[in-house]
Structure 1
Amino acid sequence: MSLTHSIGKFIDIQDSNIVFNEEFFHMGTFKGKKCKYISGKLSYTPTHCEACGVENQNDTIYKNGSQTSRITLPFIGMYPAYLLLKKQRFMCKACKQTFTAQTSIVKKNCFVSQNVKTLIVIKAAEARSLTSIASDCSVSPTTVQREINQAAKLFKPHYQALPEHLSFDEFKYAKGEMAFEYINAMTGDILDILDRRNQFTIKNHFIANYSLADRKCVKTVTIDMNAGYATVIKELFPNAEIIIDRFHLVQLISRSMNKCRIQVMNQFNKSNGEDQKKYRRLKKFWKLLLKNAMRISNTEYKHYPLFGQRTEGGMIEEMLEYSPILKANYVIYQSLLKAMTNKDFKALKFHVVEPVDPLISGYMRTSLKTLKKHLPYIQNSFIYPYNNGRIEGINNKIKVLNRVAYGYRNFMNYKKRILIHFKLKPFESNSKQKQPYSKVA
Structure 2
Amino acid sequence: MSHAGNILGLPELEVERVDRNDSIEVYARPKRRPSCIHCQHPKVRIKATHERTLKHTRQGNQVMTLHLKTPKYHCPQCGRYFRHRFQGVRPRYRSSDAFRLEVFEAHDGGVTQRKLARTHDMSPATVERWYQGQCRLRLSEMSNRPCPRVLGIDEHFFSRKRGYATTMVDLKNHKVFDVVLGRSELSLRRYLRALPGKENVQVVVMDLSETYRSIVRRYFPNATIVADRFHVIRLVNQHLLKAWQGYDPEGRKHRGLVSLMRRHQWRLTDEQRENLGRYLDDYPVLKALYAAKQQLNRLLLLKSLNRKKAKQLLPRLLSLIEDLAASPLHRLARTLKSWLEPIVGMWRFTKTNGITEGFHNKMEMMSRRAYGFRNFENYRLRVLTHCGWDGIINRV
- Shorter-chain TM-score: what band? 0.7 to 0.9
Asked whether 1:76 is paired with 2:74, we answer: no
Pick the aligned partner of 1:421 from 368, 380, 386: 386
Residue 167 of structure 1 aligns with an amino acid whose one-letter code is G
Tell me the C-alpha RMSD between the 2 structures.
4.0
User: What is the rounded CA distance, in whole Å, between the counterparts of 1:103 and 1:372 in structure 2?
Assistant: 67
Aligned to 1:41: 28
Output one character per residue of 1:6-32: Cα deviation in whole Å (capped at 9) or x when no partner: 4x454x3333334142xx24232xxxx
- Counterparts of 1:93 and 1:154 in 2: how far apart (Å)? 36
Residue 177 of structure 1: aligned partner: 163
Alignment of 1:41-440 (within 5 A): 41-42=28-29, 61-63=47-49, 66-67=50-51, 69=53, 71-77=54-60, 79-88=61-70, 102-123=85-106, 126=109, 128=110, 131=113, 134=116, 139=122, 140-156=127-143, 158=144, 160=146, 162-175=147-160, 176-210=162-196, 215-259=198-242, 267-268=249-250, 282-284=254-256, 286-298=258-270, 311-321=271-281, 327-342=287-302, 344-354=313-323, 356=325, 360=328, 364-423=329-388, 435=396
1:68 deviation in Å?
5.6
Deviation digits for residues 357-382 of structure 1 (CA, Å, limit 9, x no counterpart) = 66x4xxx5543332232122212222
Secondary structure of the 2:357 match is: helix
**CA–CA distance in structure 2, aligned partners of residues 67 and 75 of structure 1:** 21
- Relative to its length, the structure with more helix (as a share) is 2
* Partners of 1:68 and 1:234 in 2: CA distance: 59
What is the SS of the residue equivalent to 1:387? coil
Which residue pairs with 2:12 in the alignment?
Answer: 16
Rg (Cα) greater in structure: 1
Tell me the CA shift for residue 189 of structure 1: 4.0
Q: Which amino acid aligns with 1:14?
A: L
**Deviation per residue, 1:283-325 (Å, 9 max, x gap):** 2453222110122222xxxxxxxxxxxx111222234356567
Q: Secondary structure of 1:354's partner?
A: helix
- The aligned residue for residue 3 of structure 2 is 5
| Whole-angstrom distance in 2 between the partners of 1:68 and 1:215 | 50
The farther-off stretch of 239-248 and 378-387 is 378-387
CA distance in 1, matches of 2:209, 2:358: 18
Question: Structure 1, unaligned stretches of length 5 or more?
Answer: 29-35, 269-277, 299-310, 436-441
Greater mean alpha carbon deviation, residues 166-175 or residues 128-137: 128-137
SS in 1 for 2:67: strand
User: Structure 1 residues 62, 118: CA separation in 2 closer, same or farther (over 3 Å shift)?
Assistant: closer
Checking the alignment, whether the CA contact within 8 Å between 1:243 and 1:380 is kept in structure 2 is: yes
- Identity %, equivalent residues: 18
Report if aligned partners of 1:328, 1:357 keep a CA contact under 8 Å in 2.
Answer: no
Instruction: State the Cα distance separating 1:260 from its structure 2 match.
Output: 5.3
The separation in 1 between residues aligned to 2:360 and 2:273, in whole angstroms, is 37
Tell me how far apart the structure 2 counterparts of residues 395 and 355 of structure 1 sit (CA, whole Å): 34
After superposition, the Cα gap between the structure-2 partners of 1:116 and 1:93, relative to the gap in structure 1 and judged at 3 Å, is closer
CA distance in 2, matches of 1:84, 1:386: 52
For 1:379 and 1:49, the matched residues in 2 are separated by 68
- TM norm structure 1: 0.70
Amino acid of the residue matched to residue 85 of structure 1? H
Q: Secondary structure at the match of 1:118?
A: helix
Aligned equivalent of 1:439: none
Mark the CA change 1:169 to 1:93 in structure 2 (over 3 Å): closer, same or farther: closer
| 1:224 positional shift | 1.0
Seen in structure 2, the aligned counterparts of structure 1 residues 246 and 75 have a Cα distance that, compared at 3 Å, is same
Q: Which amino acid aligns with 2:183?
A: R
Q: Using the alignment, how far apart are the partners of 2:152 and 2:179 within structure 1?
A: 12
Contact 1:288 1:316 in 2 (8 A): yes
- The whole-number CA distance in structure 2 between the counterparts of 1:93 and 1:167 is 58
Q: Secondary structure at the match of 1:182?
A: strand
More deviation, 283-292/114-123: 114-123
What CA distance in whole angstroms lies between the structure 2 residues aligned with 1:87 and 1:357? 88
Paired with 1:352 and 1:89, the residues of 2 have a C-alpha distance of 82
TM-score by length of 2: 0.77
SS at match of 2:169: strand
What is the number of equivalent residue pairs in this alignment?
A: 377
Distance 1:106 1:60 in 2: 20
SS of residue paired to 1:178: strand
Q: Equivalents in 2 of 1:108, 1:410: separation in Å?
A: 31
Give yes or no for contact 2:16–2:29 (8 Å, CA) kept in 1: no
Measure, in 2, the Cα distance between the counterparts of 1:14 and 1:208: 43
Q: Tell me, what secondary structure is at the counterpart of 2:3?
A: helix
Name the CA distance, whole Å, in 2 between partners of 1:347 and 1:192: 39
The verdict on how the C-alpha distance between 1:183 and 1:132 changes in structure 2, with shifts beyond 3 A counting, is: farther
Asked if the contact 1:72/1:138 (under 8 Å) is kept, the reply is no
> Following the alignment from structure 1 to structure 2, what is the Cα–Cα distance between the partners of residues 68 and 130?
29
Judging changes above 3 Å, is the alpha-carbon distance between structure 1 residues 288 and 405 closer, same or farther for their aligned structure 2 residues?
Answer: same
